[in-house]
């Protein structure tokens, strides 16, 4: 899994780290290929808290619809449980659903309850993100496999 890193600079400058002599058009195409245009073009700072929450709810629903389309039925079934959770849990879930690889999703689909527990556990820690949720979930799976022997 590749880890995305952003430097403390604007998005264009971050893209230019990959190709310093890129034209504006190449920067736009790179942002488009990275599925970052919606994020870039949305002025999230200018939105009210209610609008931000509405956008998050839409992103959450889309993430779970996409999972169901991909065949991850058990994880997709957790949608109703996650909609009742606080905003930070939802943000982690959206991030997880859009960034983790299929290996993690297959594991999560096999053991969706533990997947939700891992997300809840890391979301209570300040600054916990999707990496923490994936590591916690994988650790639980390894521990369960060891205990089953």
pLDDT digits 0-9 by tens, 39-84: 666 656 677 878 878 888 888 888 888 888 888 888 888 888 888 8
Helix%, strand%, coil% for the chain, nearest 5? 70, 0, 30
Element (H, E) at 41: helix 37-41
Average pLDDT over residues 112-138: 69
pLDDT attached to residue 4 = 61
User: CA 106 to CA 47: how far, in whole Å?
Assistant: 35
Going by the DSSP 8-state scheme, the letter that residue 78 receives in this structure is T
Mean pLDDT of the chain: 75
Radius of gyration of the chain (CA): 17
Q: pTM of the prediction?
A: 0.54
């Amino acid at each position: 899994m590749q880890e995305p890193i952003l430097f403390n600079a604007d998005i264009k400058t971050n893209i230019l780290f990959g190709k310093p002599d890129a034209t504006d058009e190449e920067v736009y195409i790179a942002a488009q290929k990275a599925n970052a245009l919606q994020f870039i073009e949305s002025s999230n700072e200018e939105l009210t808290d209610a609008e931000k929450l509405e956008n998050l709810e839409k992103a959450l629903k889309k993430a779970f619809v996409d999972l169901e389309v991909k065949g991850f039925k058990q994880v997709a079934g957790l949608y109703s449980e996650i909609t009742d959770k606080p905003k930070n849990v939802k943000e982690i879930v959206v991030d997880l659903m859009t960034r983790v690889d299929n290996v993690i999703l297959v594991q999560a689909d096999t053991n969706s309850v533990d997947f939700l527990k891992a997300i809840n556990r890391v979301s209570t820690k300040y600054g916990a993100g999707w990496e923490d949720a994936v590591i916690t979930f994988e650790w639980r799976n390894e521990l369960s496999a060891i205990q089953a022997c």
